[in-house]
Copies of this chain bind each other. A is one copy, B any other.
Amino acid sequence: MSNIIEKNVDLLKKANVYFDGRVTSRNYTDKDGVVKSLGVMLPGEYTFNTKAPESMEILGGKVEVLILSGLDNNWETYGAGETFEVPGNSSFEIKVLELADYCCTYLS
């Protein structure tokens, strides 16, 4: 995990709620002005669309991910401490096998 505590952040109190609350997150801006969100995904299968490119750090749990861009699409498995990147203006499918705790960084 990159940092256990993120210091000096601006934290939005209201939660983002997706899929009837099976995925929730809260946005914050880190000390360098980078927008991130910390979230939890309950077991299930979800599809997300991206605007900005995203870096997804899995803090806990286990997921399988299929990034829907390019020609060579394969499901990949990620666990605690692992990160995957998703291009902007694309989408990805995620199968959450074990409750997943994550940090998403919006890349610009």
Using CB atoms and an 8 Å cutoff, list the residues of chain A in contact with chain B.
1, 3-15, 17, 20-21, 24, 26, 28, 38, 40, 42, 59-60, 99, 101, 103
Contacts and interface: CB of A to CB of B under 8 A. Distances in A.
Given A9-B9, A24-B40, A40-B24, A14 B99 contact: no
Contacts of A12: 4-5
A97 to B, nearest CB: 13
Given A6-B10, A9-B10, A15-B40, 13 more contacts: A1-B13, A4-B14, A5-B10, A5-B11, A5-B12, A6-B11, A8-B8, A8-B9, A8-B10, A9-B11, A13-B38, A17-B40, A26-B26
